[in-house]
Structure 1
Amino acid sequence: MSERSSAEPRQSEPAAAASVVPFPGPRSASAPPPQVAFDRNELRTIFNLYGRMVAEGEWRDYALDFRRDKAVFSIYRRSSEVPLYRIEKDPKLARRQGAYAVVAATGLVMKRGSDLARVLGVLEKPLRAV
């Protein structure tokens, strides 16, 4: 009887087959994007307004929310409150009423349209003579 010593290498058992996850290919034109988001130019327009209002002491905090159906930029006076305004981008409404909307804290749609800068004009303070 020949016993194996612990120094002898053992026959290795066949390794379990690794699962291969294919790299996702290009999305088809009909497939919706996984979530709606603001692009760089839209965020620049929103943050320009937000920065001016923060400098005036009107606004203090914001939140971004990207969902499957819409993107929301919420504006707060204090972070513990409900948002004063919500800037929403809903691509499903782009052909009908416009993709952008400014919604007040009460849920009232203040302005809706397809041009973000014009829609944000409702939040701009009117110019006054000094």
Structure 2
Amino acid sequence: MGVVTPFPAGAGRPSQTGFERAELARILDLYGRMVAAGHWRDYAIDLGRDAAVFSAFRRSAERPEFRIEKRPALRNRQGMWALVNEVGAVLKRGHELGPVLAPVERRLMKLVED
């Protein structure tokens, strides 16, 4: 009849982690508002096997000011979303993207005096 070829051992695991359309739209909306406010100038997206990372830069030649990381392996533990600052400290971690982005969005608020 034919030759049966076995599947590779890691067939159930995706070869790359990425952002869904709604997640990327939310992140790019924040990025656009931060660019308009003059805070950020460049970004980078890194799609790896274990994590998808969106990095936002003040200037291209520096380390990223913030990294938004999606790690699906942490979904059932502390949450797959993390906001990491320039030195690598995790500022916020959670199960939903909105609350994780809140500290960055607060930087856009301005106090209006009477």
How high is the TM-score relative to the length of structure 2?
A: 0.85
Match of 2:25 among 21, 40, 44: 44
Size of the aligned set, in residue pairs, is 102
Query: Cα RMSD between the aligned structures?
Result: 1.5
What is the Cα deviation at residue 129 of structure 1?
2.1
- Which structure: greater helix fraction? 2
1:72 corresponding residue in structure 2: 53
Give runs of ≥4 in structure 1 deviating > 4 Å: none
Q: Deviations over 1:1-60 (max 9, x none)?
A: xxxxxxxxxxxxxxxxxxxxxxxxxxxxx7111110001000010011100000000000
Amino acid at match of 1:32: R
Match of 1:86 among 67, 70, 75: 67
**Equivalent-residue separation in structure 2 for 1:114 and 1:44 (angstroms):** 18
Name the SS of the counterpart of 2:60 in structure 1.
Answer: coil
Q: What runs of 5+ residues in structure 2 fail to find an aligned partner?
A: 1-10
Q: Deviations over 1:69-115 (max 9, x none)?
A: 00000010011111111000000111111000000011110000011
1:102 corresponding residue in structure 2: 83
What is the Cα deviation at residue 127 of structure 1?
4.4
Q: What runs of 5+ residues in structure 1 fail to find an aligned partner?
A: 1-29
How high is the TM-score relative to the length of structure 1?
A: 0.75
Q: Where does 1:103-118 land on structure 2 (aligned, <5 Å)?
A: 103-118=84-99
Name the SS of the counterpart of 1:53 in structure 2.
Answer: helix
